[in-house]
């Protein structure tokens, strides 16, 4: 029986964590709090120092991090970064032990996940694609939604780890399915943020008390997790990144390409993808995706 099978097992799996960004740092720290031994690697020394301060172990390379790991978890920005850390002589597949479980929690193309699973199988390494939704707040609070692609047995074994990171954990189908569902998630989130941003500008230009309006809207059918999480961003024009426009731009490219491949029309999604791209082109790529409000304000004649 695998030592992944139950979180109460006295010998929990040793975990390697690759990628300690806005999401990866709090997620890895939640595993440490749950009692897992976590060895991490990332490019920024200050983030390795943060992991060590939280009780983890900083590694000097990917190879060092994954060598003795039962589970390798990756959380990096996009498909090129996943491929860079997975493949090659210094990558995960060449250095992780046979039988290890690789859980990629990045948001990448479904095809990248399928290809990774095939390559890993040749090395005796099992793979799950397990992208998440919930943003920085969800990562910190360990309430993420985790959408998983892969084999049922691997999902069952990894479930205790996922339970330390999130609240809604679903196996969506075979390899790549998690990424397909995440692409749909990003479509819904972007359209929702855009609708909220347009409502904010409409309300303010109409002279309505914005705080009161958003409170009552969020109590009815117009309410959403997006509005709950981003309301203060809109009210305070606080666009400190929880999820950057640059990354949502990447995700909108994924969903529009994937939809085209299966013959699904995304008329509203295509417009919002262009609005995200426009905001990025104006130099706001490093801001939180709630900064779509800035684009609506510009279109409405405000100086921002």
Task: Write down which residue in 115, 141, 174 finishes a domain.
Answer: 174
Q: List active site positions.
A: 182
CATH of the domain at 292: 1.10.1040.10
Tell me, yes or no, whether 158 and 190 share the same domain: no
How far, in Å, CA of 256 to CA of 151, rounded? 27
pLDDT exceeds 90 at position 5:
no
Distance between CA atoms of residues 142 and 135, nearest Å: 10
The per-residue pLDDT for range 178-223, each reduced to its tens digit, is: 999 999 999 999 999 999 999 999 999 999 999 999 999 999 999 9
Count of domains observed in the chain: 2
pLDDT bin (cut points 50, 70, 90) of residue 4 is very low
Banded model confidence at residue 10, pLDDT cuts 50, 70, 90: low
Question: Domain limits at 271?
Answer: 181-299
Q: State residue 302's pLDDT score.
A: 86
What pLDDT, on the 0 to 100 scale, is given for residue 7? 39
Per-residue pLDDT band for 11 (boundaries 50, 70, 90) equals confident
Cα–Cα distance, 91 to 110 (Å, whole number)? 20
Show the tokens assigned to 102.
């690789």
What is the band of 9 on the pLDDT scale with cuts at 50, 70, 90? very low
Residue 60 has pLDDT above 60, yes or no: yes
Are 229 and 289 found together in one domain? yes
The kind and range of the H/E element at 62 are helix 62-66
Other Cβ atoms within 10 Å of 46 Cβ, number: 8
pLDDT in tens, 105-148: 999 999 999 999 999 999 999 999 999 999 899 999 999 999 99
């Amino acid at each position: 029986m695998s030592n992944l099978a139950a979180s109460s097992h006295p010998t929990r799996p040793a975990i390697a964590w690759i990628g300690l960004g806005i999401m990866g740092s709090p997620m890895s720290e939640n595993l440490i709090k749950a009692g897992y031994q976590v060895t991490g690697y990332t490019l920024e020394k200050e983030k390795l120092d943060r992991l060590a301060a939280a009780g983890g172990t900083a590694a000097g390379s990917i190879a060092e991090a994954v060598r003795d790991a039962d589970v390798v978890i990756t959380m990096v920005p996009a498909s090129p970064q996943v491929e860079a850390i997975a493949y090659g002589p210094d990558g995960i597949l060449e250095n992780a032990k046979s039988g290890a479980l690789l859980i990629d929690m990045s948001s990448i193309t479904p095809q990248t996940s399928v290809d990774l699973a095939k390559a890993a199988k040749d090395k005796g390494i099992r793979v799950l694609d397990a992208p998440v939704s919930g943003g920085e707040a969800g990562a910190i609070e360990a309430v993420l939604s985790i959408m998983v692609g892969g084999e049922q047995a691997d999902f069952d074994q990894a479930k205790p780890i996922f339970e330390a990171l999130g609240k809604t954990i679903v196996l969506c189908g075979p390899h790549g399915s998690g990424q397909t569902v995440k692409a749909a998630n990003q479509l819904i989130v972007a359209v929702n943020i855009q609708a909220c941003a347009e409502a904010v500008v409409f309300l303010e230009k109409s002279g309505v008390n914005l705080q009161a309006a958003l409170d009552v809207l969020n109590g009815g059918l117009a309410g959403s997790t997006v509005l709950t999480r981003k309301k203060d961003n809109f009210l305070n024009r606080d666009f400190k990144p929880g999820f950057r426009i640059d990354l949502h731009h990447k995700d909108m490219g994924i969903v529009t390409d994937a939809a085209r491949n299966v013959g699904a029309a995304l008329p509203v999604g295509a417009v919002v993808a262009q609005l995200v791209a426009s905001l990025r082109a104006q130099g706001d790529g490093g801001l939180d995706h709630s900064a779509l409000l800035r684009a609506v304000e510009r279109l409405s004649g405000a100086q921002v």
